[in-house]
Structure 1
Amino acid sequence: MDIRTPRERLPYSAIVDRDPLPAPQGARLIVWPIVNVEDWDISRAMPRQVLPAPTGMAVTPDVPNWAWHEYGMRVGFWRLKQAFDRWGIRPTLSINGRVCLSYPRIAGAAHEAGWEFMGHGYIQMPMHQVEDPREMIARTVQEIAAFTGRKPLGWLGPGLTQKLDTVDLLHEAGIRYIGDWVLDDQPCRLRAGQGQMVAMPYSVELNDIPMMAVQHHSAGEFLQRVTDSFDRLYQEGGEQVRVMGIAVHPFLSGVPHRIKYFEQAFEYMLGHEGVQFMTGEQILAWYEQAAPARGE
């Protein structure tokens, strides 16, 4: 397997030089909502912390921060799902494979509602710490397929982490789009294995982890940032269709003091014509038809 750097996988392309893509149903903006659900292993260091240990030293087991995440799975997820059900929007579920076993109530509700399942590692830990990435990817795909009846087409690395050969391993496992390469407002193609992979416009800016857990903004920042981004992309979409990814986590956006800003942001976008809310799988199907792949 040839190990390629990102620049070797992805030719540079200026968006102002591209031919306009035929938009789905005449839309000028595609909104891609993603809900991330994860399994935090109590035997490991927690992926995020809201409450540092009293001495500033990381501890294991880290029960307070595990419980912070658990609130999202017990309560926060259901606030988010209620909102999506009310709007008739089917988001993409970025899901650790083990969630299908440890939280079948959540996985079952999302599957019943028709949400797309996107692989997000087996448990929440960086790809760089996985001893056998090929086996982990296969196990994640297997768990999702066993639960939903079909293999996922999309992948998001835990914390967007990947190694230089991860794209090839994912392509080998049947994955056809990834959210880890946050570098464009449109889908674009990467060289992967013996074929190609589509990099989907995920987001680290319209994402409640950097916004709330890392940068510690006030709850209303989510509404401001989403609507400001929407306005600009909606304007630019009049000439060249754009894709806007929005990523949330139940333990952050699903809590009482933030949920209203999440709801207000989506209600604002729903008030505009020429906007399509799509899953990653739907965006992939549109893009493959709008810009067919060419042989290398």
Structure 2
Amino acid sequence: MTSELGYSLRDRLAYQPIHERPGLKLPGDARVAVWTIVNVENWSPAGAMPRAVLPPPMGQPLLPDIPNWSWHEYGMRVGFWRFLEALSSRNLKATFAVNGSACKVYPQACAAARDAGWDFMGHGFIQRPMHKVDDQKAAIRDTIAAISDFTGHAPRGWESPGLTETDETLDLLAEAGIEYVADWVLDDQPVELKTRSRPIVSVPYTVEINDVVMSAVQQQPSDEILRRGKDQFDRLYLEGAKAPRVMAISIHPYLTGVPHRIKYLEALYDYILGHEGVVMWTGAEILDWYKTQPKASA
């Protein structure tokens, strides 16, 4: 499938192995840039839940789905505030991937993220795949407007709900002013993606160090984010001695924000912070750094 200008997915970027690119250099010869993405979503209790922890009785979905909606809501009432404490106590800032509609549904959480200096990133207007959005252009516009009204600044980054994109999504994001995306989980360094108007940067994101995959899909033990996160960091740190790498940590308040998992996230941060040659950045900071670096040829 192709976009309006004939771009297939492979047309969006050239294939270039990581060892054949122009050299990148982090400040102070750091090896790894680590960014945390806190995902805040608006799950409507009137519809089917995007994810479920408890299967419906007799296998028959029922609405309203109180237990699964409440499972998510716990994250916003309690879990999010554990994230805020874990990050702020370590002088860390997150990238805040937020549904545009969540700015009104969860104003205190959004205000706390804003006041903490987090980098707001568009995450769709409501938690729905982009393929199911009737008017993507309007949804992108409404999301940007909601974040702009709340923070005073338009978001520079975008993470689609479920990392979903149609053939046109990337073009619409670039035309709306979005500068970087987190949907393309295909590299350990930023890369430029072609659109019909201007390039947009893919900042390395993750479906591996991501609590949706670890905790909700794979149902790993509570300490998986620490065990897998350390292994991920160790390899990137080793390779970063030759060329810098980017590590993403993607978390959701209803998953890692629960009592039996939060200490493992805190332990992962402490492990990473125990190393020299690491910068703890937001998505926007990674973007700004990448813009100063020599670019790969088209």
| Alpha-carbon separation, structure 2, partners of 1:25 and 1:33 | 21
| Alpha-carbon separation, structure 2, partners of 1:150 and 1:19 | 33
Q: 2:208 aligns with which of 205, 222, 225?
A: 205
Check conservation: 2:210, 2:251, Cα contact below 8 A: yes
Matched, 1:63 2:66: yes
Give the corresponding residue for 2:272: 269
Q: CA deviation at 1:177?
A: 0.5
- Give a deviation string over 1:130-154, Cα, whole Å, max 9, x none: 0000000000000000000010010
Give the corresponding residue for 1:157: 160
Q: CA deviation at 1:218?
A: 0.5
Which structure 2 residues correspond to residues 31-50 of structure 1 after superposition, within 5 A? Answer: 31-50=34-53
| Alpha-carbon separation, structure 2, partners of 1:24 and 1:283 | 11
The aligned amino acid for 1:287 is Y
| Alpha-carbon separation, structure 2, partners of 1:143 and 1:178 | 18
Q: CA deviation at 1:189?
A: 0.5
Q: TM-score, normalised by structure 1?
A: 0.98
Q: CA RMSD in A?
A: 1.1
The aligned amino acid for 1:148 is T
Q: CA deviation at 1:99?
A: 0.9
- Give a deviation string over 1:94-116, Cα, whole Å, max 9, x none: 00001111100000000000000
Give the corresponding residue for 1:119: 122
Q: CA deviation at 1:293?
A: 8.1
| Alpha-carbon separation, structure 2, partners of 1:231 and 1:293 | 26
SS of the counterpart of 2:59?
coil
Give the corresponding residue for 1:14: 17
Q: Structure 2: which 5+ runs fail to align?
A: none
Q: CA deviation at 1:292?
A: 5.0
Check conservation: 2:124, 2:159, Cα contact below 8 A: yes
Q: 1:167 aligns with which of 143, 153, 170?
A: 170
Which structure 2 residues correspond to residues 1-296 of structure 1 after superposition, within 5 A? Answer: 1-291=4-294
SS of the counterpart of 1:74?
helix
The alignment-based identity, stated in percent, is 51
Check conservation: 2:22, 2:295, Cα contact below 8 A: no
SS of the counterpart of 1:21?
coil
Q: Structure 1: which 5+ runs fail to align?
A: none
Q: TM-score, normalised by structure 2?
A: 0.97
Check conservation: 1:22, 1:290, Cα contact below 8 A: yes
**Structure 1 stretches (4+) deviating beyond 6 angstroms?**
none
Check conservation: 1:153, 1:281, Cα contact below 8 A: yes
Q: CA deviation at 1:60?
A: 2.0
Q: Across the two proteins, how many residue pairs are aligned to each other?
A: 295
| Alpha-carbon separation, structure 2, partners of 1:247 and 1:199 | 16
